[in-house]
Amino acid sequence: MNDGTLKIFVGYRVQHSKLYEPTKGGIRYSPDVDLSVITALAMEMTLKCRVADLPFGGAKGGVICNPREMSPDELERMTRRYTFEISSMIGPDSDVPAPDIGTGPKEMGIMFDTYKMFNQRAPYANAVVTGKPLTLGGCSARLEATAQGGVCILDEAVKQGHISGLTSLKDATVIVQGFGNVGFHTANILHKDYGCRIIGISDSKGGIYNPKGSNPSDVHNYKTDEKNEKESIVGYEGLDTLATDEFLTKECDILVPAAKETQIIGSIAADLKTKVILELANGPTTNLADKILSEKDVYLIPDILANAGGVTVSYCEWLQNKEGTQWKIDAVNSLLREKMTTAYGDLVSTVKSHDVTTREGAYMLAISRAMQVVKDRGIFP
Ligand code: GLU
């Protein structure tokens, strides 16, 4: 560490399914990381890639640490060592990490550089990670991709009349839990491009509520202002700070959990007053909450579909690195839209033909596609 002490960090990389290779999934830096969470998230990646029909298996990684309490140098050293420790697992054709909570383009650039040092002659080595800075073969649409993909599905659901009581996104009220990359971009796109009213925003320190609506860009500037020592949205325009249960259960048209897993628990689900839940976090809803929601008139857009936009644009980045080209942003966005709307259409048909919930339908779609791969490959020897 910078003060000369030695600190040992525990990290993981889990590959869930190698039916398709490379396996694919983000790297999380958080004090909450543990092997069971990373394993569950790796399985989610397998299912997500089947729903979005991408030729990847599922994986996930993480390091138990608090990146907010570490200096850039400390983070770089930890990232390099972690990459070295998992270097026998990763590679452009075996396993391709990407950002997740607590990581971003900077860490992906360092991961690529570390991998390259030990694989000097590897062809298209920058395809070893996605979500890189543009200079290293990153894709300009990647930062907004998860948000953009989720909004695309929400827009389809509204246009197709699947959300009872919501016929237009214009003036729809929105509560967003989580104001990291995904939460911020979702709020911003919904506000700027669709005319939604962002009435609630929260981060790890608390939630702010403003029935008139806030401009996500201004809230973001407030949070990232050098003078804001808390590095939080709390205190924005003197608004009161709300606790999670009070915040999530405020009346709104659209609720977007974009923080982390198990946020919508049974007691919160029972009190929710929203028309639709767009699950941009991975696993934000517990099983009990899911059961309660299925009995309420709430349209659920499940995580393995809703947040598949991130890995879909990762697919473009991986392809362009392997080809040694740079895709035009319009080509990336049109592939994103096509993949997301096709997946949503497939989900809607599954839900209809089996008379199941959207969650069950998404799992049925993913698992039946994975089963078909197993059948088509057969069993060795
Ligand atoms: N961490 C993201 C997710 O959970 C992105 C994964 C990727 O791009 O590989 O979907």
Q: How confident is the model at residue 54 (pLDDT cuts 50, 70, 90)?
A: very high
Contact 103 CB / ligand 1 (< 6 Å) = no
Residue with tokens 């991130």: 310
Q: What is the pLDDT of residue 115?
A: 98
Q: Count how many domains the chain has.
A: 2
* Residue 319 phi, psi (nearest 5): -65, -45
Domain that residue 172 falls in: 165-296
* Among 281, 296, 311, residue at a domain's last position: 296
124 and 217, same domain (yes or no): no
Q: What is the pLDDT of residue 1?
A: 98
* Among 122, 138, 154, residue at a domain's last position: 138
81 and 132, same domain (yes or no): yes
Q: What is the pLDDT of residue 347?
A: 98
> Mean pLDDT over all residues of the chain?
97
Q: What is the pLDDT of residue 227?
A: 93
The dihedral sign for the CA sequence 293, 371, 23, 154:
negative
For residue 86, give the CATH number of its domain. 3.40.50.10860
Residue with tokens 């939080």: 232
Q: What is the pLDDT of residue 253?
A: 98
B/e letters for 295-328, b = 16+ CB within 10 Å, e = fewer, are: eeebbbbbbbbbbbbbbbbbbbbbbbbeeeeebe
Contact 98 CB / ligand 1 (< 6 Å) = yes
Mean pLDDT of 210-223: 97
- Tell how far CA 175 is from the center of its chain: 17
130 and 66, same domain (yes or no): yes
- Annotated active-site residue 7? The verdict is no
DSSP state of 103: -
Q: Which ligand 1 atom is nearest residue 131's CA? A: 8
The C-alpha atoms of residue 98 and residue 83 are separated, in whole angstroms, by 12
Residues contacting 214, CB < 8 A, separation 6+: 198, 199, 201, 208, 236, 237
Q: How confident is the model at residue 16 (pLDDT cuts 50, 70, 90)?
A: very high
Query: What's the order of all strands across the beta sheet hosting 276-278?
Result: 241-242, 206-209, 197-203, 173-177, 254-257, 276-278, 299-301
Q: DSSP secondary structure string, 214-263?
A: --HHHHHHHHH-TT-TT-SSTTGGGPPEE-HHHHHTS--SEEEE-S-SS-
Q: What is the pLDDT of residue 278?
A: 98
Q: What is the pLDDT of residue 11?
A: 98
**The two three-digit tokens of residue 333, written as one number:** 């966005």
Q: What is the pLDDT of residue 279?
A: 98
pTM above 0.85, yes or no: yes
Q: Which ligand 1 atom is nearest residue 282's CA? A: 4
The C-alpha atoms of residue 274 and residue 280 are separated, in whole angstroms, by 16
208 and 289, same domain (yes or no): yes
| Catalytic site residue from 60, 223, 260, 339 | 60
Q: Which ligand 1 atom is nearest residue 97's CA? A: 9
Is residue 199 situated within a structural domain? yes
169 and 258, same domain (yes or no): yes
Contact 107 CB / ligand 1 (< 6 Å) = no
67 and 130, same domain (yes or no): yes
For residues 54 and 304, the answer to whether their CB atoms sit within 8 Å is no
How many of the other CB atoms lie within 10 Å of CB of 227? 5
Contact 100 CB / ligand 1 (< 6 Å) = yes
Q: Is beta strand 241-242 parallel, antiparallel or unpaired with respect to 173-177?
A: unpaired
130 and 172, same domain (yes or no): no
Amino acid in position 246: E
**The two three-digit tokens of residue 173, written as one number:** 């009220």
78 and 25, same domain (yes or no): yes
Q: What is the pLDDT of residue 121?
A: 93
DSSP state of 90: -
For residue 58, report the distance from its CA to the centre of ligand 1, in Å: 10
Contact 220 CB / ligand 1 (< 6 Å) = no
* Among 269, 296, 323, residue at a domain's last position: 296
Mean pLDDT of 334-354: 98
Q: At what angle do helices 329-354 and 35-51 cross, to 10 degrees?
A: 90
* Tens digits of residue pLDDT in 109-150: 999 999 999 999 999 999 999 999 999 999 989 899 999 999
Q: How confident is the model at residue 349 (pLDDT cuts 50, 70, 90)?
A: very high
Is residue 284 situated within a structural domain? yes
Q: Which ligand 1 atom is nearest residue 100's CA? A: 1
Best CA proximity match to 62, nearest among 90, 41, 38: 38
Best CA proximity match to 259, nearest among 207, 333, 193, 188: 207
133 and 171, same domain (yes or no): no
Mean pLDDT of 162-171: 97
Q: Is beta strand 276-278 parallel, antiparallel or unpaired with respect to 299-301?
A: parallel
Percent of the chain with pLDDT over 70: 100
Is residue 360 situated within a structural domain? no
Q: Whose CA is nearest to atom 8 of ligand 1?
A: 311
Is residue 279 situated within a structural domain? yes
The dihedral sign for the CA sequence 140, 64, 282, 263:
negative
What are the Cα distances from residue 180, in Å, to 101, 123, 185, 343? Answer: 8, 34, 8, 26
Contact 23 CB / ligand 1 (< 6 Å) = no
Is residue 311 situated within a structural domain? no
Is residue 50 situated within a structural domain? yes
Q: How confident is the model at residue 235 (pLDDT cuts 50, 70, 90)?
A: very high
* Tens digits of residue pLDDT in 253-310: 999 999 999 999 999 999 999 999 999 999 999 999 999 999 998 999 999 999 999 9
DSSP state of 129: S
Strands of the chain (E only): list them: 11-15, 23-30, 57-64, 95-99, 173-177, 197-203, 206-209, 241-242, 254-257, 276-278, 299-301
For residues 254 and 275, the answer to whether their CB atoms sit within 8 Å is yes
Q: What is the pLDDT of residue 73?
A: 98
